[in-house]
Structure 1
């Protein structure tokens, strides 16, 4: 008889956990995974996928305003929030079925229960069962942080925003990270009155400042109001469902919905890792080494729960590398440099590599190239919004060490550019590339 029930027991069936389970099973391991909510994790169920669908839908509202310039005439135009909400929910259901099928097709046993660690090689399920495994992988992800202030029970997070019964007329968004600004853009485009409040006076900390300044200006012109430096101090809900939102150092705001998006925290509360001798980090994260190993030799962790880089593609790569290392006989790590990122704001921005500020902080001698232009697509719109691209070049090697952009389709363009930056191509390589005309992307090879 086998010493353990399974070779691998995964806690959490998000992107990282599902990938690790599938690859470990392909290496011949006996694998089981426990998920207390829905298979697919944050990205599929309550994150980037349903959010991107809302972005697409809200962008269509903008294009409808200028259909006459495109030669189209329509009758009365109306918007049905419930129809959009329910379609998004149905696509989430479809994706969950696909992820569940992936587990089944790879002979991974799925437990629809909460699992907690009870020792180096054992877990307890919420249905009363105890299971043993040679290895345990923690892949439970992260959870939205709700600041403590009176009335915070009346606010929602990004978890609940996809299930609003009606489209609110007035929305207050607390936070200035990518989640906050993406939802602010969605609600604004759908015709809501949107106010963004934040503790600091900056938005999108860590992104290229030239892009964030441009985004702040454009979104303000689109009607989003900002109360930067004035966080929420309390919410009072009235009998009619409306709310008065009190701010630090500013006048109160009337709202119908308050969305708090002030960051995410590893979801490790009550997970029981202390029973295996694992001490959590300051933010509740599971400390791991380059091979995703914890202080307990039989327990590993991948994804947002490690609080390294909270991005779905990173979790997937970590899960794959873990399975190859432990079960595939091919130990390997992943690189965390040159990870492309995007903010699906309206307009979107994207970047890869070092920002100008980061490069200068490292003491590098750099050259900076920019292109400030009006995208052809924007000629149809009443707002004369301009795109902006920026290249950061290492002066000594001529390598392009950072690319940042804001404007239509920036994330789609950035993915290909990230390959060039990852490969270490030079500014001369960019210059030697023939432009694809007419396109926005051609600006990347025309900067002199």
Structure 2
């Protein structure tokens, strides 16, 4: 049977564009459909604009610290419209890069919504239908609307932040994950009165407990209010246009904006999957096998829509594995083990591998190497922030199982630490590596003796 395309990709985010572009470079006839803007969540309304906002919010502290280094800064003033305009220009440039990469490789682009008519036929919003031997769904995820909360329609979501007409004077953020934490630090750094409301015991569930404790303390010391064991009951609008957030403890917080940051859901609705007999999983995730193949053998799915690991580099990695599997006769399963990640809070978190809590469950005995200190760049300015570094080691094999950092440039360090941890190197290789002095990172190769051990879940002396 002859098809219009070898591969039809639904979704123009990082994973879909990578799969489409590389497939076309191999001589395959490829089409990509995107109903909004190329670049997906990461480029348009996620990682990239968020990091730009993080940079913007850090200047408030840097201006203060600069005085300790002899700089006379004078009066400073932040202008929200300038940040938004410059962000818009950069996002437009990146979108052009994404689209240009597809154009150069001969990919056919459809700037419209696409759904599945049958296992080989794609229905376009314009009414046109096309056929493809293989179809890849890479439609990403969307913010959880939390419709069950009365007044949720009054709230904003992470997608909305980057296009607010004005900077709010106060904001209440619902959630304790990395999105909530990052935006809390962004808004606080820009001078906004900021409160986090989280139902859990501590922010950043799933991260190493030391990181969670340390970051929460640092954020609170800066003036960010964090209310744990607390949930929203409803949101109402006042006569002056501000919002009242009624909490489970009976308190009411009045704020200009309420940000719902309680996770993202796979963007799988309305694609026609159920009509093809493809049942969706938890939260609407598209179930796939180890090679990203759905229950229909010519339909594939990668990225956030599968709800495996919702990170942009993971979607790109899954795309490259798909190319190997589809076109190179080399079935390749995505490797989701030991993924470096960062939380761009202030101070920043970089982490890779197992937490202490997880390692204790998996190994009879572990060694924990832990150090806290004032980093040079902030100590000189009189800032009392402390950096945390932590290595988790299997006491038997001496393999380094996890590395966790909180402090300046932690994300950059986590990227490089991902290499030795992925290679399953032992602590000996860390000890034999020369330090770069003076740096904060040198602590990672100069912690020669464990701070303590944990045997069968109980802490013992080193």
TM range (shorter): over 0.9
Structure 1 residue 323, shift from structure 2 partner: 1.7
- 2:354 corresponds in structure 1 to 354
- What is the CA–CA distance in structure 2 between the aligned matches of 1:179 and 1:317, rounded to whole Å? 22
Number of residue pairs matched by the alignment: 447
- 1:81 corresponds in structure 2 to 80
- 2:402 corresponds in structure 1 to 402
Long gaps (5+) in structure 1: none
- What is the CA–CA distance in structure 1 between the aligned matches of 2:323 and 2:303, rounded to whole Å? 13
1:321/1:333 contact within 8 Å kept: yes
Note the alpha carbon deviations across 1:287-335, whole angstroms, 9 max, x for none: 0011110000110000000000000001001111112211233221221
- 1:64 corresponds in structure 2 to 63
SS in 1 for 2:159: coil
- What is the CA–CA distance in structure 2 between the aligned matches of 1:185 and 1:321, rounded to whole Å? 36
- 1:217 corresponds in structure 2 to 217
- What is the CA–CA distance in structure 2 between the aligned matches of 1:321 and 1:361, rounded to whole Å? 31
Q: Does 1:172 align with 2:172?
A: yes
- 2:15 corresponds in structure 1 to 16
Q: Does 1:50 align with 2:52?
A: no
- What is the CA–CA distance in structure 2 between the aligned matches of 1:118 and 1:241, rounded to whole Å? 45
Note the alpha carbon deviations across 1:313-369, whole angstroms, 9 max, x for none: 010011111122112332212211110011000001111111110011114311111
- What is the CA–CA distance in structure 2 between the aligned matches of 1:280 and 1:194, rounded to whole Å? 37
1:12/1:139 contact within 8 Å kept: yes
SS in 2 for 1:283: helix
SS in 2 for 1:79: coil
Q: Does 1:273 align with 2:286?
A: no
Counterparts in 2 of 1:14 and 1:175: CA distance versus 1, 3 Å = same
Runs (4+) of structure 1 exceeding 3 A deviation are none
- 1:208 corresponds in structure 2 to 208
Structure 1 residue 7, shift from structure 2 partner: 0.9
2:363/2:394 contact within 8 Å kept: no
- What is the CA–CA distance in structure 2 between the aligned matches of 1:401 and 1:9, rounded to whole Å? 40
- What is the CA–CA distance in structure 2 between the aligned matches of 1:393 and 1:5, rounded to whole Å? 53
- What is the CA–CA distance in structure 2 between the aligned matches of 1:330 and 1:31, rounded to whole Å? 20
2:236/2:244 contact within 8 Å kept: yes
- 2:252 corresponds in structure 1 to 252
1:23/1:324 contact within 8 Å kept: no
- What is the CA–CA distance in structure 1 between the aligned matches of 2:345 and 2:55, rounded to whole Å? 11
- What is the CA–CA distance in structure 1 between the aligned matches of 2:7 and 2:187, rounded to whole Å? 43
Structure 1 residue 150, shift from structure 2 partner: 1.6
Note the alpha carbon deviations across 1:7-65, whole angstroms, 9 max, x for none: 11100000000000011112211100110110000000000000000001111111112
TM-score, length basis structure 2:
0.95
- 2:459 corresponds in structure 1 to none
Note the alpha carbon deviations across 1:179-236, whole angstroms, 9 max, x for none: 1100000000111110000122221111111011000000000010011121111111
